[in-house]
Chain A
Amino acid sequence: MMKMRKMRSIALASALTMAATMVPSDLIADRKGSVRHSSSKKKSGTSRSNRSNTNRSTRPANQPGANTGRRSATRSASRSAGRRGYRAGYSRGRHHGWNDARRSRRRWRAVTGLFVLGVYSATRPKQTTTVVVTGATYYYAGGVYYQTSGSGYVVVAPPPGAVVYSVPTYSTVVYVGTTEYVYVNGTYYVPTTKPAENPPPPDPNAPTTASAEGGGEDPSDIEMHESADENYEVVAPPPGATVPYLPDDADEEIVQGKTYYVFSGTYYRAFASDGDTVYMVVDDPTKQA
C-alpha cells in the first residue's frame, strides 16, 4: 500500500512540475500538426498549465482485478509518458487524457446508452454488488446504480456516501485544488479506504459477452478498474470541477440569460479549453440571491 501511494505522489509531483513550466500542446489534429508547438518549451502562465494537467483519464487496465496494484501503476505510466512528451516539447500525454475521455464517453454511450436515470428493467444485471447508504439498498454494476421498483429495477442517481470496489476503466481523473476526483458520466468519486462489498465471484454459467445473452446490454460486462488499497466513494459534484463531457441526458437551462447545463440537480457552465468544450460545476444559479 505504501508503495502504491508513494508512486502516485511522485507521479503527481512530477506531472505538475512539468506542467508548471511547459506550454501545453496538442489535443486534436490541429494541436498536433505543429512543429513549432511540438517543440517549443516556452514558459506559460503556470496556472493554465496546471489546470490543464489536472484533467486526464485513467488508463484502462486490460484485466480488471487481475493485478490489484494496476490502477496506480497504469496511471503513473501514463503520466510519465505524457511528461516525457512535455520534456520533448510535445505534450500529447495530457490531451490524450481528454481524447480518451471523449472516446470513453462514446464507448459509454455504446455500452450503457440505455442506462439513463429512471430506466426500468425487469431483471438485475448478472453481477451486482450491494451498496447500502443510510439504510437504502442499491445494486451496483458497471458504474450504474439500481434500486428495486415494483417487481423490477430502476436506474437511479448514484447516492453520495456509496462506497464501491471498482469504477469503469474509462473514468476521468479531475482535480479541484489538490483533491482528486474520479469522474464517470456525471458522477464523482473520491478514493477512500472505507470498506466496500467485494464483487461477486465470476459466474461460470454467465455468458461471456453481452451479445451472447441475446438482448439488452448488461453493465456487468463493462470493464472495471480496481485498486488494492482504495475503494471509491460517491461524493456530491464539487464546484470548480471541470470535466470533458456531460451525460447525454443533461438538460440545457437558461438562468438570467446565461446557458447552464443541468444533470441530476448539478449546474454546469461550458468553457472553451484544452482544444474543446469543457464543463465546470458551478453553484446553483437559481438559489443565488
Chain B
Amino acid sequence: MISYLAGAFVALLTASAWSAPPEVPGVDDDADRILRDMGDYLRTASEYTFRAEIAYDEIVEDQMILFGSVAEIALRRGLDQLPDQLNVEIDGDEIQRRLVFNGKTMTLHNMRKNLYAVTDVPPEIDAALDRFFEVFGSSVPVADLVYSDPYSTLIENVQRGFVVGQHPVNGIRCHHLAFAQEAIDWQIWVEVGPRPVPRKLVITYRDEPGSPQYIAELSDWNFEPRLSEHYFTFHPPNGADEIEFLPPQEPQIEEVPQ
C-alpha cells in the first residue's frame, strides 16, 4: 500500500515536473509547441507584410452565403524608440477600407464613401488595436497575427488542442492544428520548416446558427519588406471628408443583477 502511494506520489511529481512549462491543460504538447514556434517567429520579426484572402459565412435571407475580402497587412514593430506601425488595406464584398496606425493615431478610411476618421490611440500596437476596437467596434483582419505576442493572444482562451496532421495549403506542407475554446473551434495551418508562418486560419462559430466559418488563407509573407515611412502615413485623398468616431453616449439602463 505504502509503495503504491509512494509510486502515485512519484508519478504525480513526475507529471507536474514534466508539465513545468506553462502549457495549457488540454492542449497537446506538439500542438502547443508548433503554435508557440509560430508565435515566436512573428513576435521577434521586426517587420512583415502578408496577404489574407478571407471568406466568411453570413446568413442572408435564412440562407448561408459566403462573402470574401482580400487584406494586405503591413506591420512594423517598434524598435530603437520607433513606434509600432501598421497599415492594412481591405478590399471586400462588403467593405473597402484602409487602416493606418502611425504610432500615435489610428486612421480609418472608408474608400467607397471616401470618408475617414482619426482617433488617438496608445503607441503600443496591442493597446492601440484594443482601443480602436473599443471606439470602432472592429479590428483588423486576422488581428491575432498582428498583436505583439501572437502565441499568447491565440492560446489565451483555448481549452483543447491537438495536431490533426501534416496537410498542404496551396502546395505548402503545414502542421494542421485544431483548437477549441468556448463557443468557437479554430484551426491553423503552420508551415513546416525553418519559417513557421501561418498559412491558413479557420474559425468555426459553433454557437451560431449554422455554425458559420471564417476562413483566411495567408500568403506573400515577407519579412524584409523595407517599407518607407510614407506607407504608414495617411494623406487624405482628394475629396475625402473627415468624420468622427461616434462619441460615447450615456448608458441607458443600469446593470440588472442576474
Contacts and interface: CB of A to CB of B under 8 A. Distances in A.
Interface string B180-223: 01111010000000000000010101011100001010000000
A20 B256 CA distance: 10
Contacts, number: 197
A19 B115 CA distance: 28
Contacts of A24: 137
Taking each of B61, B138, B203, which has the highest tally of chain A beta carbons within 10 Å of its own beta carbon? B138
A259 interface: yes
Contacts of A240: 249
Contact of B95 (A23, A95, A276): A276
Contacts of B251: 20, 46-47, 50
Nearest to A26: B138
Contact of A29 (B95, B108, B201, B248): B95
B58 A99 contact: yes
A55 to B, nearest CB: 10
Interface in A66-92: 81, 84-85, 88-90, 92
A271 B205 contact: no
A275 B141 contact: no
Given A20-B255, A92-B205, A51 B246 contact: yes
Taking each of B92, B147, B181, which has the highest tally of chain A beta carbons within 10 Å of its own beta carbon? B181
Interface stretch (A10-18, A117-125, A129-137, A153-161): A10-18
Interface string A211-252: 000000000000000000000000000001010000000000
A289 interface: no
Nearest to A271: B246
A24 to B, nearest CB: 5
A103 B60 contact: yes
Interface stretch (B16-24, B37-45, B128-136): B128-136
Interface of B: 54, 56, 58-62, 67-69, 71, 90, 92, 94-95, 108, 110, 113, 115, 117, 130, 133-144, 147, 153-154, 156-157, 181-184, 186, 201, 203, 205, 207-209, 214, 216, 241, 243-246, 248-253, 255-256, 258
Top 6 A-B residue pairs of the complex, sorted by shortest distance between their CB atoms: A88-B183, A275-B138, A273-B246, A47-B248, A39-B157, A272-B117
28 contacts: A12-B253, A17-B255, A29-B56, A29-B69, A30-B138, A30-B141, A33-B142, A35-B154, A39-B181, A42-B130, A45-B248, A47-B249, A48-B248, A50-B249, A52-B137, A54-B252, A81-B208, A81-B209, A90-B207, A99-B94, A103-B61, A178-B253, A271-B245, A272-B110, A272-B115, A273-B245, A278-B246, A280-B246
